[in-house]
Amino acid sequence: MSRAPKILVFDSGLGGLTVSVEVARLLPDAQIIYAADNAAFPYGALGEYALVARVLAVTDRLISLCGPDAVVIACNTASTLTLPHLRAKFPEIPFIGTVPAIKPAASQSRSGLISVLATPGTVARDYTRELVRTYAAHCAVTLAGSRVLAPLAEAFMQGKNVSDAALAREIAPAFVMEGDPRTDCIVLACTHYPLLLRHFERLAPWPVAWIDPAPAIARRTGHVLREHLGFLGSNTSSAAPNYVVFTGALAAGPELMEALRLRGIGKVVIEPMPLEDLTLTPH
């Protein structure tokens, strides 16, 4: 591939920006098209069948609009449920998913106490528990699900005040002491959560390693572009400007626009995809 590749990074809201920033840093020649399915946010409110149908339908529309060379599903919930369906429907496009970074946390932990801070859906998913059994059987793993951290991260990105007390309450279950040993690694198993990392570090009852999967996802994306598309990079800045697509109405105030600009995105596109109007039967 001689031209600059297009990479579609997709999430239910703004959380996947944590991934798109790392992809852009690693692959500066690529054009990043960030898609936030804010019309259906949060995905945890959808049943599994409805979520698969929604992601398939929105991805179908986005691929038609953007023509990406690769798609990053920057959402743990969507990845664990929809990747097989997406790869079957779009066999010509490589998909890169997001999974809880349990393996690196288990390898890094010295205390043997690690926690997975996630959404309730990710905590309940068999896929997550299988990752624990496979990679962290030698650790004591706490699965801490929060319904409000992702919405709080969305509010923070839009310049709204976020309560320290609310954040402290939500992260508290991830901090465990068993005598002297205590949690030393916490997996951020929702891409929204690194948006609040500075708050977490400040409010944590003791220092821990916060494991963000975004750098690993970016490396995997680079590998896919090299192996599947033959992209080796270039010395020219030939990529078109990065932009973001929202599927629902958005009050893009100055705080959000500045947050997007700081992440390399200068243009906002609204492409309405109402939840009730856009459905597709998964196969």
* Helix/strand/coil (H/E/C) assignment for every residue in the chain: CCCCCEEEEEECCCCCHHHHHHHHHHCCCCEEEEEECHHHCCHHHCCHHHHHHHHHHHHHHHHHHHCCCEEEECCHHHHHHHHHHHHHHCCCCCEECCCCCHHHHHHHCCCCEEEEEECHHHHHCHHHHHHHHHHCCCCEEEEEECCCHHHHHHHHHCCCCCCHHHHHHHHHHHCCECCCCECCEEEECCCCHHHHHHHHHHHCCCCCEEECCHHHHHHHHHHHHHHHHCCCCCCCCCCCCCEEEECCCCCCCHHHHHHHHHCCCCEEEECCCCCCCCCCCCC
The single residue of 66, 75, 139, 185 carrying the catalytic annotation is 75
Judge whether 139 counts as a catalytic residue.
Answer: no
66, 139, 185, 190: the catalytic one is 190
- Confirm whether 66 is a catalytic residue: no
Question: Which amino acids are annotated catalytic?
Answer: 75, 190
